[in-house]
Amino acid sequence: MITHPAFSPEPWDIRERGLDLSVLAQSESVFALSNGNIGLRGNLDEGEPHGLPGTYLNSVFEFRPLPYAEAGYGFPESGQSVIDVTNGKLIRLLVEDEPFDVRYGELGAHERVLSLRDGVLRRTADWVSPSGHCMQISSARLVSFTQRATAAIAYEVRPVDAPLHIVLQSELVANEQLPATSADPRAAAALESPLQPEQHIAHDARARLVHCTRASGRRIGAAMDHTVHCPANVRTEIECSPDTARFTLTTRLARGESLRVVKFLAYGWSSMRSIPAISAQVEAALTLARESGWEGLLAEQRQYLDDYWARADVDLDGDPEVQQAVRFALFQVLQASARAERRPIPAKGLTGPGYDGHVFWDTESFVLPTLTYTTPHAAADALRWRHLTLPAARQRARQLTLDGATFAWRTINGEESSGYWPAGTAALHINADVADAVIRLVQATGDEAFERTAALPLLVETARLWASQGFHHVDGSFRIDGVTGPDEYSALANNNVYTNMMAQRNLRGAAEAAERHPDEAAGLGVTGDEIAAWARAADAMFVPYDDKLGVHPQAEQFTDLAVWDFAQTRPDQYPLMLHFPYLQLYRKQVVKQADLVMALFKRGDAFTADEKARDFAYYEPLTVRDSSLSACIQAVLAAEVGHLDLAYDYLGEAARMDLDDLEHNTRDGLHIASLAGAWLTLVAGFGGMRDSGGSLTFAPRLPAPLTRLTFSVLWHGQRLCVNINKTNATYSLEGDASVELAHHGRTFQLTAGEPVTNPIPPAAPGPRPSQPPGREPVRHRPGRA
Amino acid sequence: MITHPAFSPEPWDIRERGLDLSVLAQSESVFALSNGNIGLRGNLDEGEPHGLPGTYLNSVFEFRPLPYAEAGYGFPESGQSVIDVTNGKLIRLLVEDEPFDVRYGELGAHERVLSLRDGVLRRTADWVSPSGHCMQISSARLVSFTQRATAAIAYEVRPVDAPLHIVLQSELVANEQLPATSADPRAAAALESPLQPEQHIAHDARARLVHCTRASGRRIGAAMDHTVHCPANVRTEIECSPDTARFTLTTRLARGESLRVVKFLAYGWSSMRSIPAISAQVEAALTLARESGWEGLLAEQRQYLDDYWARADVDLDGDPEVQQAVRFALFQVLQASARAERRPIPAKGLTGPGYDGHVFWDTESFVLPTLTYTTPHAAADALRWRHLTLPAARQRARQLTLDGATFAWRTINGEESSGYWPAGTAALHINADVADAVIRLVQATGDEAFERTAALPLLVETARLWASQGFHHVDGSFRIDGVTGPDEYSALANNNVYTNMMAQRNLRGAAEAAERHPDEAAGLGVTGDEIAAWARAADAMFVPYDDKLGVHPQAEQFTDLAVWDFAQTRPDQYPLMLHFPYLQLYRKQVVKQADLVMALFKRGDAFTADEKARDFAYYEPLTVRDSSLSACIQAVLAAEVGHLDLAYDYLGEAARMDLDDLEHNTRDGLHIASLAGAWLTLVAGFGGMRDSGGSLTFAPRLPAPLTRLTFSVLWHGQRLCVNINKTNATYSLEGDASVELAHHGRTFQLTAGEPVTNPIPPAAPGPRPSQPPGREPVRHRPGRA
């Protein structure tokens, strides 16, 4: 399954030696740089060859038609797709009369290194041109965390053995040609050349292109400026046309002399501001960047990341690959969110066009738990984005004849963009997932302003949704029928345990928040009767249980269904959804991704240890992990019920999903949720951290290969550090307060500056559960190639 | 709801007085002529104004892409749509220099009469041209039942008060312009200019156009010839171009003189035959028609219909509207099927483009029960068409990873054309419906050749489907999960009672047929073990029952769902599917069309009288009848449980669906299944005829307004006549055999020539069940306007 063997396991770097063009697209995702506002895929400076060129701005999308062979009421007719905006990464090189292209001539040493400490992608190449000229080329690229609108590239070229004529072309290119993506001609047409030129200006070393999208009306400014360092004489030229700006440098370098160019890039966009306003915005960013200079940007970047690692790093002994993977994961989670600032965190971040650039429940269920404890302001921003989409969610609820708000299953601008409703709109659990993230953030930060202005409306409107989607049966129970849980190999089931339990948490959270903030609640029209109704529904929430088997069915009747015939399923028939119709998948016991097991994690407070062990053992042999969202959750539960070796195997899968391209689709972008899941696996899995009971509890226990695990979480602004070894765990707190924690079920008080060490009891797991044949996680052993 | 008040209730005619252009499209469907091979909508001779021009040939369709916003494995990518072929109905008239167009000048008396005895549509019009010329125009049109490829029109024009120049243009027009279709997903998708010209030839009074469809490769020949009768001198001219042929007559008629033209039309098509072969085929048909002449065709038509009415007529006293409606229904069922001959019977027959010209389960479940007892050869032909599509059905089953065969939910050529799988492919019951029709036909005709060659393969392959879709639960029961029953306001439910019971019948029918024909069964690979497995599955078939409520849930858990909030549903929100999302419909107790009640009818042998009464009473308040397939079945069950007045109200709705345009979509074509349902309502409802136990049983009982009901059914080729009045029923048999029947539960032997009269016991119904507010059937009273 490992298609990119080239990343060596170093603690702080992702290093690629050599250049394998067959995995170029994958490496472009792995080497993508982003600050949550701008995203640049790791395309080669010279543009070609490429797997998939990509430059993205958060929330810059185009509408496209959603066609239906047979339409139905409420099916969304228009969807959104992220678009590739003006490419500013391009620096082309001409040596004598030959363009630098790794496919021609001879490529000697080639290395790309993503530094997780610096936030810089560096590249060096030794190249002999077809006519025998020997060159050294190096570049460094960053997307600034501190200057949100800015990226920069330092590019250097040096002839090795003879004087040479050099031409360098630094470009902005809009509407660049992309490989065909959609099979639907109408969708493809909507996304072809999506940028309409509005302005192009160039002078000195500076140029600017302004474009606007056709239907979505996003006005985009892209600008570049350059500084040049060269001992030789350099002639420069700048030119531009509606879709291209080009800064050209010509020089003749003596042997060993080098030409160094720093390219500053600035991007801005708005759906409201005028051409002059957008122009001024990007010019200001460019001026600031140029003033900072390359070294200044580099220093700011390092400082920003030093702060990040100081609070967020996970440090461990025993497995260099996992060490690398978890830092890569944390870095990518930061890249996806750091400066998104009330814009969404898409499933792929800004690393590729996968899933059309949409945000899903991934954000709240996987990414935000990580951000909440490592970068809470980014978690708050993501939820404030949800809050901004409340009008669309209310309107969607009205269309679905529901009360409150229904968040889109997949979207960029807040409007439903899901074209298959049984696995889209029907997955109403996303609303409880949003509420869960809101409750977690408030709990972890104590941020009252956030609670009043964003959390409360989100909780109230989602609680209203559940009150109207569910109903009290004549037996008194509150039932939620006809919805789809996390497992997409089931649909439209009654009383999905995960959904019902998360809705219960949502209803209770809304009631509590409304009682804490009665004035604001009254402003939202909340009455005492409504709060009482939420509490009644939550208390009466129906949770099905199979008495005969002694397990929870994923949804009512699930355990009565036929079990999928795993023995007759060939390895090449996974993922099942590409080889079997829903007609077969839905009616059988086969689980795409953790669903009931997800409930065991997210609502761990509602299950006994015994129930968790039995349920986990029941669902393991049914779960095929055809989703990247599954391994990490299975790892967490495996660790909880004592199967540390199994958890460790799942950790390997979750952590190296993208570095090893385990799902063969890293080319379309990174799996940000799975990356966040790597952190969850270590912190919630082997650290045993839980928060669903209202406070932080831990039940740490290390798998055999790990000898130490150290991580930190932020709790009400204070850094809580947990240091685990084979025999005990030491808790320490920075700051000036104290906090009540629990360790393996025993509560204790932790005071700042007074570390507490607790012994770790041995695990007593039952027999290791089996997985569907051929779907066992790869046995993960440190040092495996 | 009645939008076409102009059809007066006459026993053998559908008469329209005056011409209301606002209901023109509806009248074109009502006045459509067809023999099951050719279909001509009732468009005015002069072509315009029109509601929807239409000329159809059975199985002449074009492929069209089925797009999906989010595709899934096994979603069909190509569908089929019936196309409007070369229009040969056109006869345009020019009076002096003004075209005859009812929208100009002054239309005096205008009458159209469809004679159900003659099978002829007659029209008379008095028209004063804008410049004051007074004309009488009359025409008669037939599509021949005896000459399958032939239609003919007799057209006559007469100046009333002054000599006039007359120009008559008789045309063939291909690719005629069609009005844009509605946004209603039920209406057909129009296909623009689907015919590619291949040949056009004209000489004398004769012309021929040959076209071919682009993707489906249907070669179509259309030809016309004319005879002219006129006392005055007539100049004629013929011309043609790729898409138009025109025969022009010019004359000057004295006052009272008339010009009479008979136009003969012939159509032929093939997906295999060459241009010369198709040409020869239509020329031969044309020659034969011209030899027969108008009078000859008329006489043959009358003879054919005399035979039909002699065996099929339903005659009653007490309600002239119902009398008319049931004859209209029988006539349309005949028109849809008479000469289809191993081609499908579409839901709209050949009367309009509704549902894209597709055939559904309607055919086997509603139309074939009627045809089986009135025109069994047409029922056999329709099932032989299913048999011809077995290769496509087997292939579809393989794609769905099922055994045996899966018939398309909607199709023309046998391939699945359903674009929303939860209410299409998942409605696997269609396979049991085919089997049910097969079993019924064999039972009613004793046709062994049919059983061996068509029935057995159909039963075997559908039984294999059920054996693979269902499974034996650990409790031993055989369960069929994740399918959709007849009610399209539910989907993907477990153990739908209708589906399970029909599958049971299918499995048993296959086992019995295979045992009767062991050699042929062996040829299909059937083993003793397989037969035993079918029997075991049938015996163990799970039928859910709600002990608390004492009723059968439509499917498992149905009676646990919330009941639809009928009180809050406004009248303008019906049909619900156009105003509410499936998300809401599926999760509630609300029934679009008889589902469990359909099981009470089709598998009446499996329920006690008490169960039927309780189940019927439970489902009545939940059933909104948003489908035209519901009223007739509810009528039959209402009659069975003794609610004769309610049955009578439903009869009114079922019988006059199209004459009164109750669903506002008669413009797209007639509801052939509902028309067949009118016959079912009388014969199975008030006649109480059942056949699901293996023999014919009756339980006749008339509603108050009806004083007599007489109908006949064919049983093994013999005509069995049932004559019912208020107090008793008289059974008589023609032929030379005898048959065992039952009357209200008491069996008796009926011998040919020896009528038996049995008394009718009084009904003892409970209280009349209620319907959802506003969805009660209109109280039907004889003589209502």
CB contacts < 8 Å between A and B, how many?
Answer: 147
pLDDT of residue B188: 44
The two three-digit tokens of residue B185, written as one number: 């997903």
Mean pLDDT score, A163-181: 92
Residues of A annotated as catalytic are 488
Q: How confident is the model at residue B5 (pLDDT cuts 50, 70, 90)?
A: low
State which fold the A313-725 domain adopts: Glycosyltransferase (1.50.10)
Please state, in angstroms and rounded to a whole number, the distance separating the CA atoms of residues A201 and B11. Answer: 84
Find the mean pLDDT for residues B471-481: 97
DSSP A211: E
pLDDT higher than 70, residue A784:
no
The answer to whether B361 is annotated as binding is yes
Tokens of A636: 């967490």
A 456-515 near B (Cβ less than 8 A): 471, 473, 479, 481-483, 491-492, 494
| Residue with the larger pLDDT of the pair A781 and A783 | A781
- Asked if A163 has any chain B CB less than 8 Å from its own CB, the reply is no
User: Is B399 part of the contact surface with chain A (CB cutoff 8 Å)?
Assistant: yes
Q: How far apart are CA A737 and CA A750, in angstroms?
A: 9
**Given an 8 Å threshold on Cβ–Cβ distance, is B560 in contact with A473?**
yes
Residues A254/A165, Cβ–Cβ less than 8 Å: no
Taking the C-alpha atoms of residue B490 and residue B700, their distance in angstroms, rounded to an integer, is 33
* Backbone phi and psi for residue B584, each to the nearest 5 degrees, phi listed first: -85, -40
Q: Which residues of chain A are within 8 Å of residue B185 when distances are taken between CB atoms?
A: 70-72
As a whole number of angstroms, the distance between CA B380 and CA B361 comes to: 16
Q: What local confidence, expressed as pLDDT, does residue B537 receive?
A: 98
Show me where the domains of chain B are located.
31-311, 313-728
- Residues 6 or more apart whose CB falls under 8 angstroms from that of A450 comprise A380, A383, A384, A441, A442
Q: Is B362 annotated as a binding residue?
A: yes
* CATH homologous superfamily, domain B31-311: Glycoside hydrolase, family 65, N-terminal domain (2.70.98.40)
C-beta atoms of B492 and A494 within 8 A:
no
Under an 8 A CB cutoff, do A69 and B582 touch?
A: no
Q: Of B46, B171, B176, B488, which residue is the catalytic one?
A: B488
HEC profile for A381-418? HHHHHHHHCHHHHHHHHHHCCCCCCCCCCCECCCCCCC
CATH 2.70.98.40 is right for the domain spanning A10-309: yes
- Is B217 in CB contact (< 8 Å) with chain A? no
Give the model confidence (pLDDT) of A624-675 as tens digits. Answer: 999 999 999 999 999 999 999 999 999 999 988 899 888 888 999 999 999 9
Q: What is the pLDDT of residue A189?
A: 67
B511/A604 Cα distance (integer angstroms): 52
Identity of residue B321 = E
Q: Give the model's pLDDT for residue B189.
A: 47
Q: Say if the Cβ atoms of A492 and B579 lie within 8 Å.
A: no
Show binding-site residues of A for substrate: 361-362, 592-593
DSSP A359: B
CATH class of B313-728: mainly alpha
Angle (deg, nearest 10), helices A376-388 and A456-469: 50
CB A574 within 8 A of CB A775: yes
pLDDT tens, residue by residue, B482-535: 999 999 999 999 999 999 999 999 999 999 999 999 999 999 999 999 999 999
Classify A33 in phi/psi space as left (phi over 0), alpha (psi -120 to 50) or beta.
beta
> How much is the pLDDT for B522?
98
Best mutation site among A587, A590, A592, A626 for testing chain B: the one with the most B CBs within 10 Å? Answer: A587
Chain B window 412-441: which residues touch A at a Cβ cutoff of 8 Å?
418-422, 424-426
Over range B197-217, report the average pLDDT: 97
Please indicate if the annotation marks B323 as binding a ligand. no
| Mean of all residue pLDDT scores within chain A | 95
Average pLDDT, chain B: 95
Beta-bridge mates of residue B366: none
Q: Per-residue pLDDT tens for B364-411?
A: 999 999 999 999 999 999 999 999 999 999 999 999 999 999 999 999
What's the average model confidence in pLDDT over A129-157?
A: 97
pLDDT of residue B531: 98
The answer to whether residue A99 scores a pLDDT higher than 90 is yes
Task: Out of B420, B557, B579, name the one closest to residue A556 (CB).
Answer: B557
Query: Which H or E run contains A143?
Result: strand A134-143
Please answer yes or no on whether A72 and B577 come within 8 Å at the CB atom. Answer: yes
State the pLDDT at residue A456: 98
**Residue A68 touches chain B, beta carbons under 8 Å:** yes
Q: CA A191: distance to chain centroid?
A: 23
pLDDT at B335 over 70: yes
Residue B1, pLDDT > 50, answer no
**Alpha-carbon span A201 to B9, nearest angstrom:** 80
Does pLDDT of A183 surpass 60? no
Q: Is the CB of residue B644 less than 8 Å from the CB of residue B704?
A: yes
Residue at A480: amino acid letter: I
Same fold, A10-309 and A313-725: no
Nearest partner of A658 among A674, A646, A680, judged by Cα: A674
Percent of chain B with pLDDT over 70: 97
**Are B185 and A71 inside 8 Å of each other by CB?**
yes
Contact B70 A481 (CB under 8 A): no
Question: Which pTM value belongs to this model?
Answer: 0.95
Alpha carbon distance A525, A763 (integer Å): 50
DSSP B98-112: EE--TTSSEEEEEEE
B488 belongs to the catalytic site: yes
- 3-state SS assignment for residue A1: coil
* Alpha carbons A649 and A777: distance in angstroms, whole number: 6
- Measured between beta carbons, which residues in chain B are less than 8 angstroms from residue A186? 67
Region A84-101: mean pLDDT is 96
Check CB contact under 8 Å for B481 and A562. yes
Chain B segment 15-44 residues within 8 A of A by beta carbon are: none
**pLDDT beyond 90 at A186:** no
Residue B182's pLDDT band, with cuts at 50, 70 and 90, is very low
> In B652-769, at which residue ranges do the beta strands (DSSP E only) sit?
697-698, 708-715, 718-725, 728-733, 738-743, 746-751, 756-759
Main-chain phi, psi angles of B711, to 5 degrees: -145, 165
> Tens digit of pLDDT for each residue in A545-600?
999 999 999 999 999 999 999 999 999 999 999 999 999 999 999 999 999 999 99
CB atoms within 10 A of CB A217: 12
Strands (E), B174-216: 195-203, 206-213
